[in-house]
Structure 1
Amino acid sequence: MKRGENRAKAFNLHFLRGSVFEKIFDLAEFTKLTKREQQMYNSEVKRRRDNENTTFFAVNEAKKVAIEEGREVGREEGRDEGREERTLEFTQNLIRATDCEDSKIAELCHVTLDYVKEVRSNLARE
Structure 2
Amino acid sequence: MQENDKNSPLRDDEAKKRLQGELASNREEERLLEPSGEDQPEPGSDPQALRTGSTPEGMTPRDVELRTELAQHLGRHLYPVDRDGVVDALREQHAPDRLVELAGRLPMEKQYANVQEIVRDLGIGTEQRRR
Q: TM-score range by the shorter chain?
A: under 0.3
Could you tell me the TM-score, scaled by structure 2's length? Answer: 0.25
Could you tell me the TM-score, scaled by structure 1's length? Answer: 0.26
Structure with the higher fraction of residues in helix conformation: 1
